[in-house]
A and B are shown apart, each in its own frame.
Chain A
Amino acid sequence: MTHAADFRALSELLTGEQPLDQATADAHRERLARHFPADVDRLIDAYRAAVGQPDPGAALFTAVNADPALARLARETLAIWYTAQFTRPDNTQDAPDTPSRYRAGLVWKVISAHPLSAAPVPGGYGYWTQHP
């Protein structure tokens, strides 16, 4: 498997969401690699070691939590999928790269809402009176 495919696959394990979009995965991986250059490859290696295990998700979880740098990158990987934004090593924020990536953040779907400033389609006046 390629780097690109493996990053997407490990993102699917971390987020519990399947299938994730490959182009988005590529963009997210590149943004993270810019700030965590050494650790992205190590996270992919950890994933490759975990896929052979009976419960790959649990194995990956254990592996990253045994290594603070990997745990941190796993956190930022989850953050970028949920919100298109993550915290850089210097604790500044890396903003969503495009409006559409912001809107595609996983958080909105999980909480049964829609991205703030982007009403649901179909929607229209009063959709909010109904159970989602």
Chain B
Amino acid sequence: MDTTYDVVIIGAGVAGAMCACRIKEVKPQARILLLDAGDNDVDDDQRQAFVDAYQVSTAKNVPSPYAALGNNKFGYAPSSDGTSDPVAMNRYYVESGPDLFKSGFQRMVGGSTWAWRGNTPRFLPTDFDLKTRYGIAVDWPLTYNDLEPYYAQAEVELGVSGNRDEWEPLTPRSTDYPMPGIAASYGDELVRAALADIEPIDGTPVTVLTTPQARNSEEYQGRSACQGNSSCIPICPSGAKYDASVHVRRARDELDVQVRTGCTVARLVPRPGNVSPTVVFRDWTTTERAEEQVNGTHVVLAVNAIETPKLWLLSGLDNRSDQVGRNLMDHLAEEVVGLFGQPVFPYRGPQSTLSIETFRDGPWRRTTGAFRMTIGNDGWGRFESPSLAVDKLMWDPAAKKLKHYGTELQDALAERVTRMLRIGYSTEQLPDSANRVTLSDERDGLDIPRPKIAFKIDDYSKRALAYGHSVARRIWQHMEDTAGAEEIEPLQPTLKFNGAGHPMGTTRMGTDRATSVVNADGLSHAHTNLWVVGPSVFPTGSTANPTLTLAALTLRTADKLATTLP
């Protein structure tokens, strides 16, 4: 193959694929190579095959549509499973604790957005200067206003539906959303009505908004409006939910970006002089799986917040700041479930359409993490699936006898499941240098070290989980008092948590090269023409889902990079 490119981009997830498209749109002559470890297709047949695999899987968990991909099956570029089960998580990660890092990712062409939920709120302006404002963590090297134009562009790229009037006060906007807000479900509207007269909690109003989401509320850029399949995580059958197959196809088919799949980058090798490192990779789909190498004037790392620091460290790249791999963050998520007073009919439409954003910022943030709340439209979610509800109602495990059968069982099931509702909260976690990705002695199928993860939930996060529970519990109390809700649990905070699928922070940006890895443009402080895009560059994680913000930063980085090209 031709071994010299203007830009070599490693990773064809949303960050890498969008970066390739933007550079090519600005500089059509640029020679760009996009390398990805996955070897899946990005067409309709592939999507259908994922749906079929999901339907016949036993667990219906996040990896179920993708488990049979060669890179996962043979361990050549394994994904992390993304479950709360330590055994599953450690199939790829090597976790040293003391707490379990529960968020995985998908190593496949298109990356983790195949499986994501697609919710895309912006960060709040205050999220960018926590140090100045509250004396905690660090400030970003850029402000909300710096990023705002890119937020607007990212919303167009992903195809975000949202209602401007609801969001303008929280996140000032220069544009309308590309599409109107997604329609709330029948049950969501019952909940919204039940919360219309709730008193403020600790002085904070409980306001229900339509969540902005990269999910089409009308046909958009050739993709259909949402059909309400209700399986957004882990696979959208219609493609109405954005995934990065959109940008991979655009890069490959419309913009003449060279895309090579099945190619796992094994390391970067610094070259003498003022040039970017050589990229060394292996095509695991060939029998020899021999090492190949390629040079680009620029190299962009876009392999998420676990693989980016892993690759950096195993390549022995500059780490004088000692920040590579550190400050790993997630949004620790929990929920309080209950039965609403009347049927809300879950499992119809997108998994969640409404949210409560008022607890994302407040003076308590000096000591206690903030959180975003969502109203689920997916019953009790991970807490109790419909099939588990069937088993609970028909079977007495102690006596080993049937409890109900026939129409009585049907009625009991309908009565229970149609009233299932969950209120989730997803909390802020501060950067902690001890929470980090390093290299394990254990190796994957290509003999590349697996990532080792140390992770601990600090008191700030525990207080956030406890406060999130307290607020969710009081919202449920209101529904118990006024809307017949019952069977609320857990009644006490458990401090248990789920991963949100949002690894962030491991090659953070900053102005000071002693305490950060890249600058505000995503350019390495130490290495010439080596750039990083994706959630690893976040100095702090906010309470918002990360992808819109990483997309905005990616477009900004791509523009900066493109201006240096001839």
Contact = CB atoms under 8 A, between A and B. Distances in A.
Interface in B377-425: 377, 386-387, 390-391, 394-395, 400-402, 405-410, 413-414, 417-418
B564 interface: no
A124 interface: yes
A70 to B, nearest CB: 10
Interface string A82-105: 110100000001111111001100
A15 B403 CA distance: 13
Contacts of A115: 55
Interface in B186-239: 186, 189, 217-218, 225-231, 235, 237-238
B183 A129 contact: yes
A114 B390 contact: no
Interface string B448-485: 00000000000000000000000000000000000000
A118 B377 CA distance: 16
Contacts of B231: 116-117
A16 B409 contact: yes
A57 B186 CA distance: 36
Contacts of B349: 127-129
Interface stretch (A25-33, A34-42, A71-79): A71-79
Contact of B413 (A93, A99, A110): A110
B400 A107 contact: no
Given A16-B409, A119-B229, A93 B386 contact: no
Contact of B228 (A13, A93, A110, A123): A123
Q: Which bucket holds chain A's interface residue count?
A: 35 or more
B51 interface: yes
A125 B400 contact: no
B55 A102 contact: yes
B186 A129 contact: yes
A64 interface: yes
Contacts of A65: 401-402
Contacts of A102: 55-56
B230 A117 contact: yes
Nearest to A125: B225
B229 A131 contact: no
Contact of B390 (A78, A98, A117, A125): A78
B513 interface: no
A74 B386 CA distance: 19
A54 interface: no
B289 interface: no
A16 B407 contact: yes
Contacts of B407: 16
B42 interface: no
A110 B389 CA distance: 12
Contact of A57 (B58, B406, B413): B406
Contact of A16 (B183, B218, B230, B405): B405
A71 B409 CA distance: 15
Interface string B339-362: 000010111111000000000000
A95 B68 CA distance: 15
A5 interface: no
16 contacts: A16-B408, A71-B402, A75-B395, A78-B390, A82-B390, A107-B387, A107-B413, A111-B413, A111-B417, A113-B230, A114-B229, A114-B230, A114-B347, A116-B229, A116-B347, A128-B228
Interface of A: 13-17, 57, 61, 64-65, 68, 71-72, 74-75, 78-79, 82-83, 85, 93-99, 102-103, 107-108, 110-120, 123-132
Interface of B: 51-52, 54-60, 183-186, 189, 217-218, 225-231, 235, 237-238, 343, 345-350, 377, 386-387, 390-391, 394-395, 400-402, 405-410, 413-414, 417-418
